[in-house]
Amino acid sequence: MPPTTPPLSDIYLHWGTEMPTTSTRTLTIGTRGSALARWQTDWVIARLKIAWPELDCAIKLFQTSGDKILDRPLPEIGGKGLFTEELENALKTGEIDLAVHSLKDLPIDDATGLTLGAIAEREDAHDVLISSDHYTLTSLPHGARVGTSSLRRSAQLLVARPDLQLLPLRGNVDTRIRKALNGDYHAIVLAAAGVLRLGLSHHITEYLSFEVMLPAPGQGAMAVQCRAADHSTLDLLQPIDHLATRLAVVAERAFLNGLGGGCSAPVAALAAFQLPTSNIQLTGLVASLDGQRVIRLSHEGNDPIEVGTDLAQQALAQGAAELIK
């Protein structure tokens, strides 16, 4: 367990002192129907059952707007909330007790009445290249077709390889990999976490270094969302909340928030909880869409919100506002 850090009322969950009662409790957990979403939900259930063997869990599947609209890039159709709105509405009405998300899909601001009851230990935060011809980023042919609908990935790819032809890529992890293997693209870029969780690591051609490709805020982390006033459920989630991951992603999301929240400009961030100092070390990036201008900087401190906010102010002072516009 990491050393105790100063209490932060906006971050830490204050658990009750009474042991949760699970003998007659059934948690209804909402999730999207993709293979990755189901894997993540099954992981949460398995960990909850280890902590509370008598707990019953039921799964309710949802199809979000982001799952239905696959012919346009996300920034054109509303951004990250498209993957979470239906689940959040079901939480608010009491239809479900928990919703499991990839944290990078969640908007920065908590929906009214909801909170992140647990943030699980982070998987590998790298981005990876997948190519049927086993290309690496440096060996891709001139003008190669690379699939991604992420502005963050596109901008950083163009920094390294301005000659690349970047093409839209939507769909679930397995669908995207199938498109790469079918030859629709010379290569595609995905988050390592989803590929690893689905047991598809044999398709990875290259792990892109953080110097080449800084991840999205929260990439690789799973979030379990619940009602803020549902204290019994918050207590049940305590064993799967990973403090070091929570502190890191809070700093990353504070950086994004400090730049203006859900801006559509290419923004990346990666933080780490440092021992023995108990500090948060954060690297952030803002880039132009064409990759011609990149602001990359780092900051360290013991309050993750302050670290993220301060780094955003430094980026704005260096001209990030122009890139965000």
Instruction: Tell me the catalytic residues.
Output: 105
Coil/strand/helix, residue 299: strand
DSSP 159-205: HH-TT-EEE---S-HHHHHHHHHTTSSSEEEEEHHHHHHTT-GGGEE
Which position has the token pair 């019994």?
Answer: 232
Q: What span, in angstroms and rounded, lies between the C-alpha atoms of 242 and 207?
A: 25
CA within 13 Å, CB half, 25: 18
Closest by alpha carbon to 101, among 77, 112, 85, 113?
A: 85
Q: What span, in angstroms and rounded, lies between the C-alpha atoms of 283 and 269?
A: 6
Q: What span, in angstroms and rounded, lies between the C-alpha atoms of 320 and 317?
A: 7
Q: What is the dihedral of CA 213, 287, 257, 81, to 10 degrees?
A: -70
Q: What span, in angstroms and rounded, lies between the C-alpha atoms of 190 and 287?
A: 19
Gyration radius of the chain over CA positions: 20
Does residue 28 contact residue 45 with C-beta atoms inside 8 Å?
no
Coil/strand/helix, residue 74: helix
